[in-house]
Amino acid sequence: MKIIGTGSALPEKVVTNEMLASFLETSDEWISTRTGIKTRRLLSHETLIDLGVEAGKKAMAASGLQGSDIDYLICSNVANTYVTPSISSIILSQIGCKCPCLDVNCACTGFIYALDIAEAFHKAKKYKNILIICTESPSRYCNWHERETSVLFGDGAGAVVVTDGDNFVDSIVTGDSHTDVLYYKRTMEFTPFDRAEERTTSLVMQGREVFKLAVRSCTRDIRTILERNNMKPEDFQYFLLHQANLRIIDSIRENMKQPVEKFPTNLQKYGNTSSASIPIMIDEMSRANMFEDGANLLLSAFGGGFVTGAAIMKWEKINYND
């Protein structure tokens, strides 16, 4: 399998730390030093579906494929207004595809899970051209009166098209039940037969616990995938990590004993865009011609669950005509 097209889409509205400090008891100084985030893009007039459609269309255009060439669509998303039908089935018709489609909700690890599933389809020779779209709007499940969570997130979408090739080296995904440290609950409809007490919560997060779990699990996953492929950190041009907090990325980098330049970031501009953070970064770096042809890239992410994943791929340059 290999990536032959990338795309991304961001909401128009730029929200600075200073803007947040006008209605929350926070400051640019706190947010910048604790997280690295300076601005984020938040949905205002667009929808989550619009972002997914735009990112998906850009990825298809870059790949040279039409909607009718796509054999399978995988969408990664944590929450949206539709519980059913799936977000992938809604996006499908808007990008001109008519193929099987599947949603994954693996929190911020969704992109790596989707790659892992796509690779399994390829190995089984079931589907050739697979479009992966990660479209996320965490701003819509944060409580905007809570400074602990709302300052951290941003909305956005990233997409890739994969097809036959030998560039995807390996991936691992893990699950380990720590459901209390990060969750968002919605109530179901009332029934006269089930009296279970339910309450909608906005995003609940034990920040320090998530921080520690993130550093520990990403370091473990990276070491595992390096070892089983007989590779060293020095073999990689870039480590593309989930963009949650600069300090998390820096701690993992220190564990890998690698220079800062190998750990690119976009969280300063976009905040934590959940599963979209890595594909947005891949799209922007690829379009800026930052990946060397044949370079090894290592991806690693963590998310609510706790579910985590890592992947290794070799980059092959993509020609963008737009």
- Given the rule CB under 6 A, which residues bind ligand UT7? 26, 30-31, 34-35, 108, 147-148, 151, 205, 207-208, 210-211, 214, 244-245, 272, 303
Q: How far is the CB of 47 from ligand UT7 (least distance, A)?
A: 22
Q: How far is the CB of 192 from ligand UT7 (least distance, A)?
A: 38
The residue (of 150 and 163) whose beta carbon lies closer to ligand UT7 is: 150
What one-letter code names the amino acid at 293? D
Query: 225-228: which pairs have CB atoms within 8 A and are 24 or more residues apart?
Result: 225/170, 225/171, 225/172, 225/298, 225/310, 225/311, 225/312, 226/298, 228/170
Q: How far is the CB of 86 from ligand UT7 (least distance, A)?
A: 22
The residue (of 183 and 211) whose beta carbon lies closer to ligand UT7 is: 211
The residue (of 128 and 212) whose beta carbon lies closer to ligand UT7 is: 212
Q: Which residues are catalytic?
A: 108, 242, 272
What one-letter code names the amino acid at 166? D
Q: Classify each residue of 102-123 as buried b or exposed e, where b means 16 or more C-beta atoms within 10 Å of its C-beta.
A: ebbbbbbbbbbbbbbbbbebbe
The residue (of 145 and 257) whose beta carbon lies closer to ligand UT7 is: 145
Beta-sheet strands, E only, within the chain: 2-9, 13-16, 39-42, 72-76, 101-104, 130-136, 156-163, 168-175, 182-183, 204-205, 238-241, 296-303, 307-314
In the bound state, the residue with its beta carbon closest to ligand UT7 is 207
Q: How far is the CB of 184 from ligand UT7 (least distance, A)?
A: 11
